[in-house]
Structure 1
């Protein structure tokens, strides 16, 4: 993805109400709980990293403070892509009646068998007559055609591909950042934020060390605020 595309995403989290008119970053809210921890951390980091851009950069590897905005942009874009994919998936399933399948009744039993492929139909050859097999193939072919046409109209497969690409890019950017040595408290905070977002985005994990890591993220922001 081009840098220009990423730069169009970042202002939403680094400008506006995150930075008051006097140029100083917005202070942390008094209450930081599990629900708002990661959004608050993202806004706080965005403001601090934005301020740090005026500092001279030494030669060498890309610092964490430059990696975090790129990773977070990919992450935000992936979230939007997931939302779109889920929306289109719901529309696709509603329009087609579900994933292309055919329900077949096995003679002599009350059993219904659901088949999704021609190979599934062929495996039922000993139990079904030629006419039933032929009708099943025609019906499966019809439903697949309907699925493809609706998919193309909605752009569902393209949305799936886009979501996968962004997840891959966010994963790579996050892993590279997490193995890069930090040089400041802000960069340590950024790495911890990335770790929690990638592995506990819903803030639901209760086994050690996840509750402790969430508390540590809050502690680092509080220390950074005082600093």
Structure 2
């Protein structure tokens, strides 16, 4: 007779630890160790699992209520929504600017300034091409508006 390993069913120990509950078993106090869980924690089954799920859902609901209260108090979601709307308006305005033909040097300056500020707000980026674009912008302003 072939061994458990040869039949592909694993060792008798593995079959014992991970076999399904027997028919008619309520599983009320049944727990099984799982080798892949941190600390080799026990898996809870049956009524204990239902109770653990109920407790977890209640804890989650309590945390959601706390989050919603804090959100209402501090206005995070309202602020985030406003930022999203403003970003959409900014993008639409920038697209209108890019599509409009430049008729003067001032128009070109406005477009260049807008792309620099849109892509590098506050001129924080120091790698190419941002410093060079800022120099070109300054040159155009100097040419268009001599001192």
Q: TM-score normalised to the size of structure 1?
A: 0.42
| CA RMSD of superposed structures (Å) | 2.9
Matched, 1:181 2:101: yes
Question: Is the partner of 1:150 in helix, strand or coil?
Answer: helix
1:129 matched residue in structure 2: 49
- Give the unaligned 5+ runs of structure 2: 1-32
- Sort the Cα spacing of 1:199 and 1:111 in 2 relative to 1 into closer, same or farther, 3 A: farther
Matched, 1:110 2:39: yes
Question: Is the partner of 1:226 in helix, strand or coil?
Answer: coil
Matched, 1:140 2:60: yes
- Sort the Cα spacing of 1:140 and 1:125 in 2 relative to 1 into closer, same or farther, 3 A: farther
Which of 1 and 2 has greater Rg?
Answer: 2
2:16 matched residue in structure 1: none
Q: TM-score normalised to the size of structure 2?
A: 0.63
- Name the CA distance, whole Å, in 2 between partners of 1:204 and 1:150: 33
Question: Is the partner of 2:133 in helix, strand or coil?
Answer: helix
- Give the unaligned 5+ runs of structure 1: 1-105, 113-123
- Name the CA distance, whole Å, in 2 between partners of 1:207 and 1:159: 32
2:138 matched residue in structure 1: 218
- Name the CA distance, whole Å, in 2 between partners of 1:111 and 1:200: 50
Is the 1:125–1:133 Cα contact (8 Å) retained in structure 2?
Answer: no
1:171 to 64, 86, 91: 91
2:112 to 187, 192, 198: 192
Is the 1:178–1:191 Cα contact (8 Å) retained in structure 2?
Answer: yes
- Name the CA distance, whole Å, in 1 between partners of 2:73 and 2:87: 24
| Offset at residue 186 of structure 1 (A) | 1.3
| Offset at residue 174 of structure 1 (A) | 0.8
Q: How many residues align?
A: 110
1 or 2 for the larger relative contact order (CA 8 Å, sep ≥6)? 1
